[in-house]
Structure 1
Amino acid sequence: MPLSPQAYRPARPLTEIADFLADPVEAADFPQTVIRFRNDRAAAEIGLETLSDEEWVAHLGRFQPLPDTLPGPMALRYHGHQFRQYNSDLGDGRGFTFAQMVATDGRLLELGTKGSGQTPYSRFGDGRLTLKGGVREILATEMLEALNVPTSRTLSLIETGEALHRGDEPSPTRSAVMVRMSHGHIRIGSFQRLAFERDEAGMKRLVAYVLGHFHGEDSDDPVRLLTVVTERTATLAARYMTAGFVHGVLNSDNINVTGESFDYGPWRFAPTWDPEFTAAYFDQTGLYALGRQPEAIQWDVMQLASSLRLIAESDPLIAALEGFATTYQAEIVSAILWRLGVTPRGGTEDRALVQSFERALRTSQAGIDRVYFDLFGGQVPDHYGDTWSELRDLIEPYAPRRPRDGVYWQGEPESMLIDEVEAIWAPIAERADWTMLYDKVARVRAMGRALADPDAAA
């Protein structure tokens, strides 16, 4: 097998806690396996980019074990609040974790699936993924990565040759199995299950596992874990807001304790700054609307704190939670200045600039991506009206973070609005034409390079 000898570093720490966290499962036997998307850029970070297509299918479509990592697929157990209602009947119902490895940057990464068949937690589901759902996840993860949002990445999408029936899209529809590369799959709901079952020993082991393997700290202190998760999730909330991204389902079983966004279902990007903009048709109260996402994520982190009460005192946990607002405020300033392409000056000037930008964006109802594109580097175009006059004055002394050059800046801003997502899907559904998808991914990656920090890798 031509695994990259320099980059392939298999690991298997999940086996240390699998006795109380996961169940061994088997992948479905699919009628066919046709590669539709292989992310060799991401695969290079874990030494898999040298796999032949045949080997790619064997390991990422048929799930033959990769050398020296997990012995087989594991479906994780967890509980969670779903739209604020506690559900103890959860777990990986159409996915599993099947490999761990240390990436070139030193992080422990995991390979997990979506659409890989039924598990003990499938309930009444078929354990499958629609091809359209896989395409949507590719688009979400590529766009978020380019916009500097901590996210899982879509490593592989393989069409599997089954006809699926779904109530929310024309049926029968095509099927697929997807592999995501993620910095862990432990979620707040994993801790909620242990609290529900009053498993103190398991809770202590899971705290030490997460701190050690995902946050690089030799500690089993639950307060320290909550502090780190609070900071990471507040940063995620700020990046969501800066991108105008609406996840759609911010349930506690969808919040990763690494602070990395994952599991993309009804997501959307808002075309303009509308705090009430929602992604999911079933979010009838707007619980997870654009403007309520920081509150929703903070509420989920509070459920982690409540779970950790099993092994910790209340007062230090409450103190750790108070860091969410402070971190969020600092990170929203940093993220918006990054997206505007200017170098922070520090102090109250940065905050005043961001507040002015937010007011102008909300008042003008201009396109979010258009504004960031036009203002990148700190210049407000002349044709922007009086609404932007205050910002024009405030941004004038700011130095560009990087030059506005390259092919990307000679074209139009890249967006990922729902109409374009549907337009990309249409030729795939009608005539198996994947050109628009591949072209979009290439353009989004070019945008990511244009936005990246000057010393970032290409």
Structure 2
Amino acid sequence: MPIFPQAYRPEAKLLELGDGFFDPVAPADFLETRTRFRNDRAAAQIGVDTLTEDEWTRHFGRFEPLPGTLPRPFALRYHGHQFRSYNPDLGDGRGFTFAQMRDDRGRLMDLGTKGSGQTPWSRAGDGRLTLKGGMREILATEMLEALNVPTSRTLSLIETGEELQRGDEPSPTRSAVLVRLNHSHVRIGSFQRLAYHRDEAGLRKLVGYTLRNLYDEDSDDPVRLLDLVVGRTARLAARYMAAGFVHGVLNSDNINVTGESFDYGPWRFAPTWDPAFTAAYFDHQGLYAFGRQPEAIHWDVMQLAVALRQIAESDPLVAALDQFGPRYQPEVTQAILWRLGVRPRDPDTDRDLVQATERALRTSGVGIDRFFFDAFGGELPGTYAEPWAEVRAALGGYEPRKDRSHPYWSGEPCSMLIDEVEAIWAPIDEHDDWSLLNAKVVAIREMGEALAQ
């Protein structure tokens, strides 16, 4: 039995919901468990950083229960709209929640998996994750954390020794199991499922669970929950935009009720400020394109309001939902000012600067990461001519929130475009060489230090 530090504070709050919300499942019995990524920075925040390598693989590859928390893994039940079409046959099909604990901020956190085997919701899938998919999730979560986007974090990636057949990448391909650290796996789709079954008691129970455990509010008011979710998801949408990030699959089962981004499949970072840029090759209509992400997330939150209509009056729900736009606007302003590295002034002036920045980025074709790197601290280099005159003039009245003394600013901007993702994967695939991935994680974290408040 490992010795856990005082920072380890296990919980089992999920059990309060009861059997109707999840299914007990068993993890796959993998051929091997070989740790490929261990996030000790995130592990320290929940008190599991002292685990030995053998303990790490037993808990995060074989899923031996952690002490004091959930007794076994649970596959969560949910429904959801997928590209605006309702699907009642969802649920955790290749993952489960297997532990809960408090982090160093006192928040209730879930440990969930991706690629841990089949469940009752696998729908003919093998329940597995490709090693490349796990590597991509590491890069997405590290990059988003550095760019101040609320995100799950990749705690662990363990290679599992199986050969997987896939239609969207060369097969057979290597397999892995990923553990993510999340501030809840309760999704909008979790509420949709209960509404679909007209389970009012279940809806009330889930509302109370969410407010008490995820928002620290002693309440069971569904309108209050919707109001909180509107605020958190408006912030998420705004920070996606400032980061230049495209999630790719903003279905209602992929939006959790704490407004924390998670579950990274066909994600990409946009090279330029192109509202039509898409991440998923199957998003033929551009439903989840870069510029449509706030609309998509608002639509998903609308589905939460529809579900809550079974236990609340319409008018206050509509009033709460209508606040998404008014909350999004100051959030996106704040997020872009953060990337510019300047202190806010007043709402009107700040909004004018942000709008000028978006126009110049869209018309100039300058790379998003290049621009924010060059402009950090509020001064544009002389190489920025038209159409940057308006931005340059507006920046003149702003104070930097942080100087450029960090070593990061003496190099080049840290980006994560698709060509680099493929370049990082190639030596792993061909030579089992992880040096590029490890170096990229170091570089991303250096950028995060340079940007942080």
Query: Same fold by TM-score, threshold 0.5 exceeded?
Result: yes
Deviation at 1:77, TM superposition (A): 0.2
Q: 1:139 aligns to what? A: 139
State the Cα RMSD in Å.
Answer: 0.6
Q: 1:12 aligns to what? A: 12
Are residues 1:285 and 2:285 paired?
A: yes
Identity %: 71
Q: 1:315 aligns to what? A: 315
Counterpart residue type for residue 269 of structure 2? F
Give the unaligned 5+ runs of structure 1.
454-458
Q: 1:456 aligns to what? A: none
Q: 1:91 aligns to what? A: 91
Contact residue 3 and residue 48 of structure 1 kept, 8 A: no
Structure 2 Cα separation of the partners of residues 18 and 442 of structure 1: 42
Structure 1 Cα separation of the partners of residues 148 and 34 of structure 2: 31
Q: 1:334 aligns to what? A: 334
Deviation at 1:22, TM superposition (A): 0.5
Q: In structure 2, the residue corresponding to 1:192 is in which secondary structure?
A: helix
Deviation at 1:15, TM superposition (A): 0.4
Deviation at 1:406, TM superposition (A): 1.5
Q: In structure 2, the residue corresponding to 1:86 is in which secondary structure?
A: strand
Q: 1:362 aligns to what? A: 362
How far does the alpha carbon of each residue in 1:71-102 deviate from its partner, in whole angstroms, 9 at most, with x for none?
00000000000000000000000000000001
Q: In structure 1, the residue corresponding to 2:203 is in which secondary structure?
A: helix
Deviation at 1:229, TM superposition (A): 0.3
What pairs up with 1:387-406 in 2 under 5 angstroms?
A: 387-406=387-406
Q: 2:191 aligns to what? A: 191
Structure 2 Cα separation of the partners of residues 224 and 105 of structure 1: 23
Are residues 1:175 and 2:175 paired?
A: yes
Counterpart residue type for residue 336 of structure 2? I
Q: 1:160 aligns to what? A: 160
Structure 2 Cα separation of the partners of residues 320 and 113 of structure 1: 33
Structure 2 Cα separation of the partners of residues 119 and 225 of structure 1: 30
Counterpart residue type for residue 249 of structure 1? V
Structure 2 Cα separation of the partners of residues 250 and 265 of structure 1: 11
Structure 1 Cα separation of the partners of residues 360 and 266 of structure 2: 28
Contact residue 95 and residue 113 of structure 1 kept, 8 A: yes
Q: 1:117 aligns to what? A: 117
Structure 1 Cα separation of the partners of residues 182 and 188 of structure 2: 16
Deviation at 1:46, TM superposition (A): 0.5
Contact residue 33 and residue 61 of structure 1 kept, 8 A: yes
Contact residue 238 and residue 328 of structure 2 kept, 8 A: yes
Q: 2:431 aligns to what? A: 431
Q: 1:245 aligns to what? A: 245
Counterpart residue type for residue 406 of structure 2? G
Counterpart residue type for residue 182 of structure 1? N
How far does the alpha carbon of each residue in 1:254-292 deviate from its partner, in whole angstroms, 9 at most, with x for none?
000000000000000000011100000000010000011
What pairs up with 1:292-307 in 2 under 5 angstroms?
A: 292-307=292-307
How far does the alpha carbon of each residue in 1:117-161 deviate from its partner, in whole angstroms, 9 at most, with x for none?
000000110000000000000000000000000000000000000
Q: In structure 2, the residue corresponding to 1:44 is in which secondary structure?
A: helix
Deviation at 1:3, TM superposition (A): 4.1
Counterpart residue type for residue 321 of structure 1? L
Contact residue 340 and residue 375 of structure 1 kept, 8 A: yes
Structure 2 Cα separation of the partners of residues 451 and 407 of structure 1: 12
Contact residue 80 and residue 252 of structure 1 kept, 8 A: yes
1:266 to 1:11, Cα distance in 2 relative to 1, 3 A: same
How far does the alpha carbon of each residue in 1:181-226 deviate from its partner, in whole angstroms, 9 at most, with x for none?
0000000000000000000111000000001100110100000000
Deviation at 1:19, TM superposition (A): 1.6
Deviation at 1:331, TM superposition (A): 0.2
Query: Aligned residues, how many?
Result: 453
What pairs up with 1:23-42 in 2 under 5 angstroms?
A: 23-42=23-42
How far does the alpha carbon of each residue in 1:103-123 deviate from its partner, in whole angstroms, 9 at most, with x for none?
111100010000000000001
Structure 2 Cα separation of the partners of residues 313 and 33 of structure 1: 51
Q: In structure 2, the residue corresponding to 1:271 is in which secondary structure?
A: coil
Structure 2 Cα separation of the partners of residues 356 and 276 of structure 1: 19
How far does the alpha carbon of each residue in 1:291-346 deviate from its partner, in whole angstroms, 9 at most, with x for none?
11000000000000000011001000000001100110010000000000000012
Are residues 1:413 and 2:418 paired?
A: no
Structure 1 Cα separation of the partners of residues 9 and 239 of structure 2: 30
What pairs up with 1:376-387 in 2 under 5 angstroms?
A: 376-387=376-387
Structure 1 Cα separation of the partners of residues 384 and 407 of structure 2: 24
Deviation at 1:18, TM superposition (A): 3.2
Deviation at 1:230, TM superposition (A): 0.5
Q: In structure 2, the residue corresponding to 1:428 is in which secondary structure?
A: helix
Q: 1:218 aligns to what? A: 218
Q: 2:71 aligns to what? A: 71
Contact residue 5 and residue 50 of structure 2 kept, 8 A: no
Are residues 1:60 and 2:60 paired?
A: yes
Counterpart residue type for residue 366 of structure 2? A
Are residues 1:272 and 2:272 paired?
A: yes
Q: In structure 1, the residue corresponding to 2:388 is in which secondary structure?
A: helix
TM-score for the superposition, normalised by structure 2: 0.99
Give the unaligned 5+ runs of structure 2.
none
Structure 1 Cα separation of the partners of residues 348 and 32 of structure 2: 59
Deviation at 1:432, TM superposition (A): 0.3
Counterpart residue type for residue 437 of structure 1? L
Q: In structure 1, the residue corresponding to 2:23 is in which secondary structure?
A: strand
Q: In structure 1, the residue corresponding to 2:160 is in which secondary structure?
A: strand
